[in-house]
Amino acid sequence: MKILRRILAAILIILIAVFAYNRYDHADREHRPTPQALAALESDSNVTIRQGDYIVFSPADSTPARGLIFYPGGECDERGYAETLRAIADAGYLVVLVPMPLQLAILGINKADDVIAAFPDIQSWSLAGHSLGGSMAARYALNHPQLLDGLLLWDSYSDKDLTGSGLAVAMIHRSDKSLQPPESYIKYLPMLPEDTRYVPIVGGNHLNFGSFIAGRMYRDEPPAELAHDTQIERVARATINFMDSITD
């Protein structure tokens, strides 16, 4: 019995050490929201914001019938997307930002099910995601095309074949002057429908689809050529234009 207790104690110590190290390391990897992003979480006369199981952005002066569900990127504090999503709500859409388990959308692919059930008055849903969140949004869309009208990939791609999904799809991506998606995405483009809309953000960078203090992976990246506020505006406008076009 003493040997068994010692083995169990050793296992417990190892598990605690692994958990503690992971949390410490995660703090260094995590992309944290900027002060501007946190300020964008305050309601005003244009947009009402509620924080609970989700962060919900809604136009203050109307009751929207069309909505956008958003999956954040991997190890991104979801609040970092507040500026971009707030602008979309200001255009008349309900926007639901979905926190993910351990900040990894791969652990919450079907979270959109709960959102759709929680807002029965929304008649038309689109699903968007950034980076890992976009790829997981694409997986959800593949398996639930009847629940969605549109899919938006923010600097992301689908690794599953969506060509027969019947969905309207847009890829909003960083680009250089060639206007092409990042080279690592090219091999995945045949997975998207032929009428996919590609919206290049020339001079943008990966993290500036939101407002983040970069974690370890992007901390040493060179500054974006495009001003952060300009990139936020262009991403929001491209998203609004896409949603307007599929719900008119």
Residue scoring higher pLDDT (237 or 247): 237
Query: CA 100, CA 74: separation in Å to the nearest integer?
Result: 9
3-state DSSP call for residue 31? strand
Q: Which of 21-35, 127-141, 186-200 has the lowest mean pLDDT?
A: 21-35
Check: CB of residue 201 under 8 Å from CB of residue 226. yes
Predicted local confidence at residue 15, as pLDDT: 45
Predicted local confidence at residue 223, as pLDDT: 84
Residue scoring higher pLDDT (160 or 216): 160
Predicted local confidence at residue 146, as pLDDT: 95
Predicted local confidence at residue 219, as pLDDT: 81
Predicted local confidence at residue 11, as pLDDT: 59
Average pLDDT for 76-101: 98
- pLDDT tens digits along 43-68: 999 999 999 999 999 999 999 999 99
92 CB contacts (<8 Å, ≥6 apart)?
59, 62, 64, 66
Q: Which of 79-83, 233-237, 243-247 has the lowest mean pLDDT?
A: 243-247
Can you give the three-state secondary structure of 97-157, one letter per residue?
ECCCHHHCHHHCCCHHHHHHHHCCCCCEEEEEEECHHHHHHHHHHHHCHHHCCEEEEECCC
Instruction: Give this prediction's pTM.
Output: 0.90
Predicted local confidence at residue 248, as pLDDT: 56
Ordered structural domains, the chain, with CATH = 32-247 (3.40.50.1820)
Query: CA 10, CA 27: separation in Å to the nearest integer?
Result: 26
Whether 17 shows a pLDDT value over 80: the answer reads: no
Whether 140 shows a pLDDT value over 70: the answer reads: yes
Whether 14 shows a pLDDT value over 80: the answer reads: no
Q: How confident is the model at residue 118 (pLDDT cuts 50, 70, 90)?
A: very high
